[in-house]
Each structure stands twice: as structure tokens, then as C-alpha cells.
Amino acid sequence: MLQVSYIRENKDVIIERLKVRNIDATSMINDVLDLDEKRREIQTKLDTTKAESNTLSKEIGNLFKSGEAQKANILKKKTTQLKDDSKQLEQDLNDTANALNELLYKIPNVPNELVPNGKSDDDNLEVFREGDIPVLHSEALPHWELAKKYDIIDFELGNKITGAGFPVYKGKGARLQRALIAYFLDKNIEAGYTEYQLPLLVNEASAFGTGQLPDKEGQMYEVTADNLYLIPTAEVPGTNIFRSDLLNENNLPKAITGYTPCFRREAGSYGAHVRGLNRLHQFDKVEIIRVEHPTRSYTALDEMVSHVKGILQDLKLPYRILRLCGGDLTFASALTYDFEVFSTAQDRWLEISSISNFETFQANRLKLRYKNSDGKNQLVHTLNGSSLALPRVLAGILENYQTENGITIPEVLVPYTGFNIIN
């Protein structure tokens, strides 16, 4: 959520930058400033009314002490009116503050200057590419056919148990999945991230704090009886570890990693592009999360990008990095880099990671601050990234590493799997 003070001081810049998202925010920004002005006027009136009431109360006490009860009773009538006025002003202040917050909730984060113009993922900017695309044998298969051939992932069984988008991993498929989770966590820990095991359900305050509510409510599974939500990513519980905290500047950054199953309704997702592991309702992901000093958050973003690069280099998968355009940027992000691995059997790129800097947008919602060297409380910057999302990484391994004799396992994973081929 944008700070009102920031909007007040940077109105024109914000309106101009939000055009990169294809949004004309002029009306919303003006309404925010009008409501803020109204809120401050009401607050001033309320403070003045309360001060006058307090002054009269002291005067009434002195009058009673001096035996001037008649004068005191006259003033008591006035204090009664002032108290009624205060109650009305408090209600007006509360209504205005709520209206202001409801409007602020609808305004997305301001894109960084590096965010390119564009309306959809077709307009994302490729900034890096690495790895040779393998030449497969003539009978190469997409991963969903490989999964069936080698009996390592059962999509039909998942459909029987739950429904479409809930696969069952079996035998070497399950072991490969577990190996990837352990490998990703070990790489993240080596890079300085502290491992956390996180809840898979969060409350409304947590979902609001990281920006899933109210923007993505329809994409989350809700446990209505308890007003809880299944997490769409470990970003939500992980970042909320620090909700309402006041951190010491010397204790920044905070860097954590965690593996969780993730749950997304993916409403409206249909077609060939969602076959197999391409898009699921339940999937596994290892996340990295950082809470940073504002002066170095973009350095941290570059470090996170380099870290994921290193993992994909170790896996020897062909990949590319995209800088998301304004039209494809998530509601809370100021700048996002997507990693995509090339699926040779499908002849298409598959997104496997998004790494984002949210600047103060989440921190303002979370009331997550640090105390600087001057003793002032300031908002931190928050960042997160997939390191990595498993389904499409697994799809890339199955398809790119397939041979006529089976699917070979990337060398770095063999110590984790205990086998070097699926056949």
C-alpha cells in the first residue's frame, strides 16, 4: 500500500509511472488527497473540541470548589455538547479514514523506472539467456507422456482422489521431487538464508499484509469456517513472520528460505498450455525472502537473480530471464524478473521463478519498520523469489534429459536421488 505522505509529495510522478501499468490513476490519486485533507481537517476539529472540553472541565471543578455552582452547571451543559460533538467527529474521522484506506487498497505499487511499457506477457523484455537447447531423439515425448511411460507421476489418480491439477508422484518421480526440494534448500542455506518450516494456512491479516487480499481473493482456497486461506506461496507466511515488527537497522537484512506446498485455484485456466505439470492447483515450491534496508534492496534483487542463475547453471537447463512489463507486473511489485526454462519437447518456455522487489508496498501494509541511526522509524523494503518452483523445473528435466534409454538425472541431483537414470 502506498503511503499517503508519499502520494502527497509525488502526485504527478505516481500518476505518470502508473501509466506504465496501463492505469490512469488521476481520479484515484486526487480522491486520496481530498480524503486525506478531509481527515486532517476533522482531526484538527476533534483535537480542538477535546482541548476545549478539558479546559472547561478544569474550570467547572474550580467553580464548584469556590462555591459558584450556578456558573459551573451552565458550563456543564456546554461540556455535554462538546462531548456529543467529539463523538460525532470521531465517527466522521473513522468513516473518512476507512474510505481513505479502501481507496489506497485499490492502488497498485508504482513501477520502477526499469519496468518497460507493455500490456501483456508478450511485451516482457528478455534481458539474459543461457544454455544450449538439446536436440532430442525422434521419438521424444512431452513430460506428461514420459510420466505415464515410466510410471512416475499419475495425473489420473490425482484426479480420482481430488480433481484435476493435483498430481500424485510415485517411485522415482517422488524421490526426484524430494531431491529437488532438498537441493534447493541446501543451495539457499549455503547462500546465507535461514530455513523455516512455515504454516500452510494463513489468516486474513497475513493475506492482506503481502497483497493477496483484496487483489487475489478469487485465486486462493478459503477455509470459510475458520476464515483462513491456503497459501498460494511461502511468501505469505514467510514475510508475515515480521509483521508489526520494529527491527534494529543493524539487524538488517533478514533472509529466510522455506519449502511449502502451494495452493492456487487458477480460475479460468484452460487449454493445452496447462497440460501435465504446466499449471497445477497444488504444487511444491522453495522460496527465498528478504527484508532489506531501502538503500540496498535493488542490490539484493540482483543478488537473488544471480543466485537463481547459479542453480539453473548447476542443473544445466537452458533458461532465460525476462523483465516484466507494466501490464504483466503483479499488484504489489515494483520490479519483477521472471526465469523461464525451455521445454524442448513442448517447444516453449515455461516460467519457473519470479523474483520481485516490493519496496515499501508490503511493509506499509505489514507495519514492518526499522529504527534508523537517527532514532526514526522507517519502512523496510521486502523482496521474494522462487528458488525454485518445482513442477516446471521437473518438467524441464524430464523433457530435456530424456534419451532413448530413459531419463538421465542432472549430476548435481544424483547424491540426493541415489540414482542417475529413470528407465
Amino acid at 151: D
Instruction: Let me know: does 371 contact 248? Beta carbons within 8 Å.
Output: yes
The pLDDT, as a whole number, for residue 272 is: 54
In the beta sheet, which residues pair with residue 385?
A: 288, 355
Mean pLDDT of 263-271: 70
Q: Which helix (H) or strand (E) holds 403?
A: strand 402-403
419: left (phi over 0), alpha (psi -120 to 50) or beta: beta
Residue 208 neighbours by CB distance under 10 Å: 19
Amino acid at 324: L
Mean pLDDT of 250-279: 85
The pLDDT, as a whole number, for residue 68 is: 83
Domains located in the chain, CATH noted? 4-104 (1.10.287.40), 121-422 (3.30.930.10)
State yes or no: pLDDT of 215 exceeds 90. no
DSSP codes of every residue in 183-205? HHHHHHHHTTPEE----SEEEHH
d(CA 100, CA 76): 36
Digit-coded pLDDT (tens) for 25-34 = 999 999 999 9
Instruction: Let me know: does 91 contact 274? Beta carbons within 8 Å.
Output: no
Quote the DSSP letter at residue 129: E
* pLDDT classification of 269: cutoffs 50, 70, 90: low
Answer whether the bond into residue 199 is a cis peptide, omega within 30°.
no
* pLDDT classification of 270: cutoffs 50, 70, 90: low
Q: What is the mean pLDDT of the chain?
A: 95
**Burial of 397 per CB tally in 10 Å (0-12, 13-18, 19+):** buried
CA distances from 237 to 119, 149, 384 (A): 31, 38, 12
Mean pLDDT of 61-87: 86
d(CA 70, CA 220): 65
Decide the pairing of beta strands 194-195 and 254-263: parallel
Tell me the three cell numbers of residue 305.
Answer: 537473480
d(CA 283, CA 352): 12
Mapped onto helix, strand or coil, the DSSP state of residue 184 is helix
